[in-house]
A and B are shown apart, each in its own frame.
Chain A
């Protein structure tokens, strides 16, 4: 299970360091480092500075593990979850965009605390509403359990005042975690992002 989690995280993030691996695997950093070293040793990952990247062999292994997993899943339940996710997806993206842009032409320069508070309140409210659906997704795909912790961590950091956790890329901001979860669901259902985007579900 951990191998699948870490290889998938490598694939989604491009570069994975021990800290990010720990969050994605819901394990301690020291264990994460050890696991990454193992993956490098067997050739499924290669070093890239302080992080690792997936290798072609790693991709093959990941594909095989995902296929095994797919056979165990209740596809109908997953499809239902995905449909409900799609409904919330548009809302989340609108909130993130409202955080970044006050209107179509005007970037948010964050000089209006009331405006910012309003957007963050919307995000927190959505997260509260989303929690039950996330629970069902995890019930359908147990491997996705670490996402709950990653979302919580993002919300907590935001509430502590670190607003980079709204949308900063690479780091586990709310938007980054959401987007990776969406990517997971697309893959689990055997869909493609391009098709989903063309259908308006992933734009």
Chain B
């Protein structure tokens, strides 16, 4: 088994093709558009080592044929001067481990192809930038300068992928975790798509639900005429998804439908990276989305309501830490999303405090006397600051850590406190109304609303805890312990069920 194509088999064995190809294949099997890709299996890696770290002629020949097939499928030419084909080359073991070769992007570019790209995309700077980045990345990752010939680039990269299986870090990781050395890594080669090709192109990210607030509405960003690296580099400001819906409604619809499929199949909220090339949608990656604690609760309940999760499964999707977090005072996630962050430091005493920033104890005391909420901001606190600290809704310092006077005193007072915001960061805030989150160490502009922190105010939280109580009737204890007990009961039942089968 030398070379497999993504999309040709209903399922690909992860041991054989690695995690990346496995997930691309799964997306393809779900009817979702992924750029064409082929994979050299872990068997090829094993033979590579057996042959003294050499790629056999049959392998090289198979790769040549595969690239011709990529050309046919994409209508592009590898090393070509009109519609050039560029590829990404990735390592992929069955189990991820450090030391494996990093991904190489834009392989297949040289001076001639750069010129072709310039004409094709209509952007000289982009073409030059792509060539430079490829050369730097190749050298860094493979360890030698990139050859001019795209074929040589590809063969060198494939060899580097297989050699990385025995990098010192990978070997050491396998020793440490008792993983056998004969597994080998696969190598996935995928056609690149151009998000900057024309006005009907772009790149973006979509979450099937809002990862901050938990709203059951898709949320994402869209960068017209952009490549993935542009979004990451922050060079341009992305637009909201509504811009994509306006410009390319068919693509937008297809993307949302894909997100729904992936959410149902993956049984979890999805974080999807996509690129549109000349009005055609391509999905690059989909994985379970990172989420805020508030979102975690709402996702669990929402996915159950959508029929994707059972109650038990939903209960197991929320961690005890996330549950703790939604009982703590915190800024409402919707407000936080659009809030302006004025300062950040080390959280010293949890809670949220709102008030006008004052820089002296005298001002704090006199304003507080007239009923104004104040936030005391000091370079660092002295003993005689304590009377001002007592009347403040929150305390901020520029210098100091978690054992500082401000931290100790604020904890005794139970006053939200953020320390160590940085020299010179606070004096400019004098007179402004701010919201201080002592749990996260953030200081926001304005008086922001708070998120509900009790079952009474938070319907999804109430639902989750009701399910938990149903799982362990008669349990008496705080919410975190209740959730842990319910999850333990679910795990026990699963073991019993598995044992019976």
Contact = CB atoms under 8 A, between A and B. Distances in A.
Given A93-B403, A97-B408, A197-B400, A169 B389 contact: yes
B402 to A, nearest CB: 6
Interface string B378-395: 011011101101100000
A107 interface: yes
Contacts of A13: 383-384, 386
B407 A97 contact: yes
Most-contacted residue by chain B among A175, A198, A203 (CB, 10 A)? A203
Interface residues of B, number: 26
A116 interface: no
Interface string A174-200: 011001100100000000011001100
A180 B402 contact: no
B399 A169 contact: no
B384 A96 contact: no
Given A194-B399, A203-B399, A180 B383 contact: yes
A203 B379 CA distance: 11
Contacts of A94: 403
B384 A100 contact: no
A140 interface: no
B242 interface: no
Interface in B362-391: 379-380, 382-384, 386-387, 389-390
B401 interface: yes
A168 B413 CA distance: 8
B361 interface: yes
Contact of A107 (B350, B361, B380, B408): B350
Interface string A148-183: 000000000000000000011110000110011001
Contact of A14 (B387, B403, B412): B387
B361 A96 contact: no
Nearest to A106: B324
B412 A169 contact: yes
Contacts of B390: 169-170
A203 B380 contact: yes
B349 to A, nearest CB: 8
A194 B413 contact: no
Contacts of A176: 383
A5 interface: no
A198 B404 contact: no
Contacts of A104: 402
A14 B409 CA distance: 15
Interface in A1-28: 11-15
B299 to A, nearest CB: 22
A198 B386 contact: no
A169 B384 CA distance: 11
A193 B404 CA distance: 12
B404 to A, nearest CB: 5
Contacts of A81: none
Contacts of B389: 169
Contact of B361 (A14, A179, A180): A14
A2 to B, nearest CB: 20
B386 A96 contact: no
A176 B386 CA distance: 10
Given A194-B399, A203-B399, A203-B401, A170 B407 contact: no
Contacts of B361: 14
A15 B386 CA distance: 10
B386 A170 contact: yes
A203 B408 CA distance: 11
B280 interface: no
Given A11-B384, A15-B387, A180-B383, A107 B402 contact: no
Interface in B409-443: 409, 411-413, 420, 423
Contacts of B412: 100, 167-169
A176 B405 CA distance: 9
Nearest to A10: B384
A144 interface: no
A5 to B, nearest CB: 15
B397 to A, nearest CB: 9
A174 to B, nearest CB: 11
14 contacts: A12-B384, A94-B403, A96-B408, A101-B402, A101-B411, A104-B402, A167-B408, A167-B409, A179-B405, A194-B380, A194-B399, A198-B423, A203-B400, A203-B404
Given A197-B379, A203-B401, 6 more contacts: A14-B387, A15-B387, A96-B408, A104-B402, A179-B405, A193-B382
